[in-house]
Structure 1
Amino acid sequence: EIICACTHSSVHRCLFSATMLPAIEQLADTVLRQPVRVVVGEKNAAADTVEQKLVFVGREDGKMVALRQMVKEGIKPPVLIFVQSKDRAVDLFHQLVYDGLRVDVIHADRSQAQRDEIVDQFRRGKVWVLIATE
């Protein structure tokens, strides 16, 4: 409603999104005049340098078993793991620290400076496994 109320001709409306869900497309069509879409890369495609792996596990506890098996088989860092909650992120962090991995976690309780430092360490290879909330 606020965006639609800005009707002066000098107002520029811009919408940026890493993902273009149907609801976002509909919003853009509703509030933007003659929207221009810029797409980087192919739709639903990962970069060639990113290896994605989908592993089906029977139950929740099977996730940790599968992750430990991948580590045992020599999974190569960097590894980025997304989880749904801060509590799950912290729990997984403690389990992986116990296993002796170079791991860190980013969640809502971390300051922006802490997040930036952790990401920098991940990029430099000092952190091998980064756990992040979605």
Structure 2
Amino acid sequence: GKTATFAIGTLARLDPKLRECQALILAPTRELAQQIQKVVLALGDYMDIQVHACVGGTAVRDDIRTLQAGVHVVVGTPGRVFDMINRRALRLDSIRQFFLDEADEMLSRGFKDQIYDIFKFLPETVQVCLFSATMPLDVLEVTERFMREPVRILVKKDELTLEGIKQFYISVDKEDWKLETLCDLYETLTITQAIIYCNTRRKVDWLQEEMQKRDFTVSCMHGDMDQRERDIIMREFRSGSSRVLITTDLLARGIDVQQVSLVINFDLPTNRENYIHRIGRSGRFGRKGVAINFLTEADVRYLRDIEQFYTTEITEMPSDVADLL
């Protein structure tokens, strides 16, 4: 829905006869940029428009060739887009709209400087639009640097917790017991598709290895992997041939796999905004979803903070959780 919001507006303002970039959409991950490109192409199916995904990990030469041939919309990650601007392959003279998807992520992490650098090349008349399910105040303040008289459309926090997603916790006395708890859970539940979140890339690799030693079929994905490997894993997960994916917050934002019914926070997220993004990977498009949080003693206060922040209640997991999936 969020993607369609800006994609439809973008398409409405395009001039298909002008074979130049008229809209630039930036996203924090390659996977999300590629997903947005597919949505824009699908919505503009009858318009004869070119939409290019400009992301790292792909051949620079191919990007240059495509951009020089002329495209109407570029969807990309900041690093590769900035590179294409510097190489003069991406010209921004005709840009009317500039979108930041997952804007709080883009403006609060390492992307901020790159985004300012890109922004300097845009025409003064460009319309700037920021989209995200969460927008902390400090990020809202940053936006004043490149938005003129912006209109803010903000959803109340208590309306953010996603309807249709049941949220539970399991108390785990020690960090070391999380693995056994996960294996028990795996044997109890019939999982259509699930995402398991860890806070570090090292833990993702470790957990995949431990689960595979116990003959559980799982795949994993994180930012240290090369793009081809990430593409294959994502394709398998979308098609359902891979059913359980262990990942970092790389996959917390925007990724839409409609069959995901279960999200497990093996580690609670380090910031409360990411909690809503993570659990929002389940229960897509009105389907039922379940989120289960593994909780050590040290995590209790973080969970209470999340409950307070989203005005929600996360209860202990019931024995009949299988019926909810």
- TM-score tier by shorter-chain length is 0.7 to 0.9
Residue of structure 2 equivalent to 1:12: 127
Give 1:23's aligned amino acid.
D
Superposed, 1:23-38 pairs within 5 Å as 23-37=138-152
RMSD: 3.0
CA deviations over 1:34-74 (Å, ceiling 9, x no partner): 3245679x8432363x5544222122112112111101212
Give 2:235's aligned amino acid.
D
Residue of structure 1 equivalent to 2:137: 22
Distance 1:118 1:51, change over 3 A: farther
Superposed, 1:93-108 pairs within 5 Å as 93-108=208-223
Unaligned ranges ≥5, structure 1: none
Distance 1:8 1:123, change over 3 A: closer
Higher percent of residues as strand: 2
Question: Alignment partner of 1:14: what SS?
Answer: strand
Count of residue pairs the alignment pairs up: 131
Matched, 1:61 2:176: yes
Q: 1:71 aligns with which of 186, 197, 206?
A: 186
Residue of structure 1 equivalent to 2:197: 82
Instruction: Kindly state the Cα deviation for residue 132 of structure 1 after the two structures are TM-superposed.
Output: 0.8
**In 1, distance between residues paired with 2:242 and 2:153?**
33
Higher percent of residues as helix: 2
Distance 1:9 1:15, change over 3 A: same
Q: 1:46 aligns with which of 143, 158, 162?
A: 162
**In 1, distance between residues paired with 2:242 and 2:159?**
30
Give 2:210's aligned amino acid.
Q
Distance 1:87 1:78, change over 3 A: same
Unaligned ranges ≥5, structure 2: 1-112, 250-325
What's the TM-score once normalised by structure 1's chain length?
A: 0.76
**In 2, distance between residues paired with 1:44 and 1:81?**
22
What's the TM-score once normalised by structure 2's chain length?
A: 0.35
Question: Alignment partner of 2:195: what SS?
Answer: strand
Q: Which has the higher contact order (CA 8 A, sep 6+)?
A: 1
Q: Which moved more, 1:51-60 or 1:90-99?
A: 51-60
Q: What is the percent sequence identity of the aligned residues?
A: 27
Question: Alignment partner of 2:170: what SS?
Answer: coil
Distance 1:21 1:11, change over 3 A: same
